[in-house]
Structure 1
Amino acid sequence: MKRVVSKYMVFGAIGALVSVAGHAASSKPNVVVILTDDQGWGDLGINGNTAIHTPNIDRMALAGARFDRFFVSPVCSPTRAEFLTGRHHVRCGVYSTSAGGERINADETLIAELFKRGGYKTAAFGKWHSGMQAPYHPNTRGFDEFYGFCSGHWGDYFSPMLDHNGDIVSGNGYVNDDFTERAMDFIATHRAAPFLVYLPLNTPHSPMQVPDRWWDKFKDMELTQEHRDRNKENIDHTRAALAMCENIDWNVGRLLAKLDELKLAENTIVVYFSDNGPNGKRWNGDMRGQKGSTDEGGVRSPLFIRWPAKIRPGTEVLPICSAYDLLPTLAELCGVPLAGTQPLDGTSLKPLLLGQTAGWKERTLVHYWRNISVRTQRHRLDYKGNLYDMVADPGQRKPVNGEAPETAASLAAFAENWRTQMLAEHGKAFDGRPFVIGHPGAPITQIPARDGVGLGGIKRSSRHPNDSFFTHWKNKDDAIEWNCEVGQGGTYQVELFYTCPAADVGSTVELAFNAAVLTGKIVEAHDPPLEGMELDRVPRSESYNKDFKRMTLGRIQLQKGPGTLRLRALDIPGEGVMDFRLMLLTRVD
């Protein structure tokens, strides 16, 4: 018998509910937000996956509120924008996952800015994916502390090159473990004041790297739950993803234990969700669609919110909700004013969390990534115009346009109106926003290969720009260019991250920006092999990494204003110049 969902009701999922009377917090609650990357709704034991063991996340879900139909965007950066701003990603300038299209417009107010104004210590540890250079870098969006990477994916998960408050450092061990350690240290240091900790873990996104401790369980496991299109499933990819999700669970357990140890659990709100559907064809509750799709399986995410002081264990939230609801929800729960924000698309879920459900209104959500799907409490209209009854047919197998023509027509009109109003200026290949060098308050600017354009014979190491490098630099007509703007004039030290075989040492390179010119030589050989394939559990399509060498090219005097930053070779004594990964410009005057 199918359960009928009432849009006004929130049910307890376990029998005896624990009274929270007398547990009201005497101070503002702390907040920890855990966001996973490419983890599907079905990649958890509590959601019915029989291969995986996720006891810590499962217990957290049962100890607070568990959302039945929580929706995000089909891919990474749009979901992050919606969580961070409380607004649909289309409004925020986010139209891509790389090369600048992932940046949240500088005039948007992010959740960390609100909480910082409200007296919170703020930090982010992990995958940012919302802009690299200031004013888009996390340190200029309200986060006091940042440790992680800003690109859409990273090519190495074991002690890789990372960003710590704008500078380049080396990580310490497996990235999820490292990020969680940093988060726990920050919490311990700032436990006397309210804190907002954002922990965007970067798995099970590819490359499919996971320590033996987690892989050994799955590498030969026979999986009994299959994707609905079983012939297209890559079993080893599924095994690796599940192993990575068990590592996530272990880290969640460590973080929750730290809150217990510090006696902070009672008054700390912990949020757990994912950024899109699964990054592969694997079991996901028979839903249609995966990462990149606007169908149910591409945009349905787990959402668990635990706050022992206020939220009753076993709370089950049935009305549909969205990632952009989290900012207004957390702000209201914490008493943080929304002053300065643009009009929000999200609405506070506080009534649903606290059982005050009278008057909750039905909503219509729009999911967009190259096409549009519309979701109400009962129906989904897909991008082809097919209407599905999601209560009777959660797998989207049989359209009901004939049985509900008025609903189909109404949602089609809604979708077209949304398209007309929201997409007129959205999705351009290049939006014209420059990459800013020397933004006030940000002494170090990263200029990666990802954001550049290779001219002549220069090629990328992968068709995926994120974490790629430029190679095949052989001629004086070759160059790399970036559309930039200097935010603050002055003297900048320029450092390159490069590789170069001994036979090619000696090239003279020129960096120019408008009238400013700096020349220098590649004087030291550094020719490490490509790496990463030895740690991948399944082959990747993204770029492999190298151990790039950091060298100082010299100093350049830059004037404030727009221009093209251009790197080229004036002299090439060997067969090539270098492989180029990254440039750092640090203001030194």
Structure 2
Amino acid sequence: MHRLIAYLFLLVFGGALLPACQQAAPERPPNLLVILTDDQGWGDLSYSGNPHLSTPAIDALARQGVSFDRFYVSPVCSPTRAEMLTGRYHLRGGVRGTSAGEERLDLDETTFVELFQQAGYATAAFGKWHNGMQHPYHPNSRGFDTFYGFCSGHWGDYFSPPLEENGIPVQGEGYLPDDLTDKAMDFMHAHRDEPFLVYLPLNTPHSPMQVPDSWWERFENKPLDSLVAGEDPDFTRAALAMCENIDWNVGRLLEKLENLGLTENTLVVYFTDNGPNSFRWNGGMKGRKGSTDEGGVRSPFFMQWKGHIPEGKVIPQIAGAIDLFPTFLDMAGLTHSGEKPLDGKSLKPLIMKEDPSWTDRMIFSHWNGNSSLRTQKYRLDKDGNLFDMESDPGQQQPVQDQYPEVAENLREALVEWEMAMVEEQTKDPENRPFTLGAPQAPLTQLPARDGMAHGSIQRSNRFPNDSFFTHWVSLEDSITWEVEVLEAGDYRVEAYYTCPKGDVGAEIRLQAGTTHLDARVKEAHDPPLEGMENDRIERMESYVKEFKPMHLGSISLKKGIQTISLKALRIPGNQVMDVQKLLVKPVEITQ
């Protein structure tokens, strides 16, 4: 209802100062479709010159719109997402990692989605969120009316996997990128008569390297010329197959807009979240995902809005994910009056004007203790080496000896920026527990990713995202989650578990503060590990299996910070159970 009122206000009062006879029909604000891919490098497109694949739909976005030749994101996933959402460097928003809570975007940060929602847009996200799972970090609390996908940093199965829809667990339908695209098209169709914002953060080509046969068969035996150092040809083939599937889905989205008659009223944006997730063709640039060198942070960036922005324009000025917040607002005619200053600037002048006034600038990159700086001409790398990116785009020949003054000025600028980021981080509380029981949350998920194992208990994989706890064999073992209960009340708790038949009967205790509830593992559930049957390349991440909910009972939780723990009281077999997550549902909220 609030969205409809806002939109009607825009329509009715937008021309209220004109006499009725002179009022023109109000122009509908543009829709916004943002497509973000996961671990696709700048070089994973035929538009970039890669001879090993064909991406005609994505290439057409560049040819029918504008292309930024030097566009920069962060070296890894969640920081790029945070910078896009806020227009501010990710460290300002508390995003310091990619799992275990460090991927969460501070709650005092404003997302551009919230402003579009307040302006009357129908808003939705379909795919990988990766900026916080529990409300109010959840996408439904950050401006999205609708969310379908997963909040983790990566997912373990791409074929009809368990997902969530507006916080409720659901089952996916088919190959995940296709499913996400289907849901996005359904949303656009349902909201075709009102302005909408669709954010489509696809999960590919992030590993595990899973892709349907029809796409894999095109690359399984494809010759690859001129392999780069460290390249795994089969990994590359899988990644390129996944990228061609992405292109097919982009084509479907553009066709859907055309069929709905919305092509000329929709701003379509395409970019990636970091450099490629393996060593493969990337235009000769140095670095890959995780690196602050050019190859780790340069992304393709295309924008199409037929009839409104130039076609085929290539913009040479450097730009980055931090610029998208102000650019999206500017293109839609919206404003931002937030208290926190933006690091980004609107790219609208570069897009719309032939010869805009544009001052050279610095764009900073940071990950894992390493920082670099990019100007229009130079890159200062993490080791303080200066490179002329116009004459040496591969960063082969440092030039700080030829240009000592330039190098020194940029080093001072980088130190100053790093100090500012340290100061921002000192403002954050040392401990940010996981939130539970937010009033707007239908339930709270506490996955293994966000928990801590004690004693003999182990993660199923060294990468926390999409892992589970196993090897629970001792009464001294425990699993804990540090939480902040936002609303006191009674909560039903379910544990998603597996347990072999011979180990049924373990008695467990869930404790929170001074209260607890006891339960017993009564039913065997021992499915096999899955994922390897669909992997084209052996994965690094955890394999998955089908976990089953077990009702533990209801517990009264007090408001405030506390530890939730799981311990065993009796172990009649060899182990207790494997645990994927807890699901905590409010029974009745009290003061």
Counterpart amino acid of 1:447? L
Residue equivalent to 2:67: 66
Q: Which residue of 2 aligns with 1:475?
A: 474
Cα contact 1:118–1:337 (8 A) shared by 2: no
Cα offset, 1:587, TM superposition:
0.8
CA distance in 2, matches of 1:531, 1:132: 24
Residue deviations 1:528-583, cap 9 Å, x none?
11111111111111100011112222111111111001111111111111000011
Counterpart in the other structure of 1:377? 376
1:208 matched to 2:209: yes
Shift of residue 82 of structure 1? 0.2
- CA distance in 2: counterparts of 1:529 and 1:429, whole angstroms: 42
Q: What SS class does the counterpart of residue 338 from structure 2 fall into? A: coil
CA distances 1:477-525 after superposition (whole Å, capped 9, x unpaired): 1110111010011111111111000001111111111122111111111
What's the CA shift string for 1:201-226, capped at 9, x where partnerless?
A: 01110000000111001011111243
**In the alignment, is the contact (CA less than 8 A) between 2:506 and 2:576 conserved in 1?**
yes
Aligned to 1:88: 89
Is 1:145 the counterpart of 2:146? The answer is: yes
| C-alpha contact (below 8 Å) 1:50/1:225 kept by paired residues | no
| Alpha carbons 1:63, 1:313 under 8 Å: kept | yes
Give, in angstroms, the shift of residue 341 of structure 1: 5.5
> What SS class does the counterpart of residue 353 from structure 1 fall into?
helix
Q: What does 1:145-544 correspond to in 2, within 5 Å? A: 145-227=146-228, 229=229, 232-340=230-338, 342-355=340-353, 357-369=355-367, 370-424=369-423, 426=425, 431-544=430-543
* More moved, 339-348 vs 459-468: 339-348
Q: Which residue matches 2:105?
A: 104
Count of equivalent residues: 563
What do residues 2-25 of structure 1 show as CA deviations (whole Å, max 9, x unaligned)? xxxxxxxxxxxxxxxxxxxxxx99
| Counterpart Cα distance in 1 of 2:184 and 2:534 | 26
State the Cα distance separating 1:309 from its structure 2 match: 2.9
What is the CA-CA distance between 1:403 and the residue it aligns to? 1.5
Larger mean Cα displacement after TM superposition, 349-358 or 403-412: 349-358
Given that 2:350 and 2:356 are in contact with CA atoms closer than 8 Å, whether structure 1 keeps it comes out as no
Which runs of 5 or more structure 2 residues have no equivalent in the other structure? Answer: 1-24
Residue 8 of structure 1 is matched in structure 2 by: none
Please report how far the alpha carbon of residue 37 of structure 1 lies from its aligned counterpart in structure 2 after TM superposition: 0.4
CA contact (8 A) 1:74 1:276 kept: yes
For 1:445, the aligned partner's letter is T
Q: How many Å apart are 1:429 and its aligned residue? A: 13
The aligned amino acid for 1:542 is E
Confirm or deny: 8 A CA contact 1:65 1:313 kept in the other structure: yes
Q: How many angstroms apart in 2 are the aligned matches of 1:430 and 1:42?
A: 40
User: CA 1:50–1:341 in structure 2 vs 1: closer, same or farther (change >3 Å)?
Assistant: farther
Deviation, 1:358, is 2.7
Is contact 2:128–2:201 with CA below 8 Å preserved after alignment? yes
Output aligned runs, 1:554-569, within 5 Å: 554-569=553-568
Q: What does the per-residue CA deviation read over 1:59-82, in whole Å, with 9 as the maximum and x for residues that have no partner?
A: 111110101000000000000000
Find the residue that maps to 1:413 and give its secondary structure.
Answer: helix
Q: Could you say which residue in structure 2 is the equivalent of 1:551?
A: 550
**2:167 maps to amino acid:** G
Gap change, CA 1:375 and 1:272, over 3 Å in 2: same
Q: Distance in 2 between matches of 1:394 and 1:587?
A: 56
Offset of 1:180 from its aligned partner? 0.4
Q: Give, as a single letter, the amino acid of the residue that structure 2 aligns with 1:259.
A: L
Deviation at 1:340, TM superposition (A): 3.2
Whole-angstrom distance in 1 between the partners of 2:562 and 2:296 = 40
Partner of 2:130: 129
Sequence identity of aligned pairs in percent?
58
3-state SS in 1 of match to 2:419: helix
After TM superposition, the score normalised by the length of structure 1 is 0.94
Unaligned runs of 5+ in 1: 1-23
RMSD, matched Cα: 1.5
Q: Which amino acid aligns with 2:35?
A: I
Q: Which amino acid aligns with 1:325?
A: D
Question: Structure 1 residues 430 and 217 mapped into 2: Cα distance closer, same or farther (>3 Å)?
Answer: farther
Question: Counterpart amino acid of 1:321?
Answer: A
Q: Which amino acid aligns with 2:348?
A: K
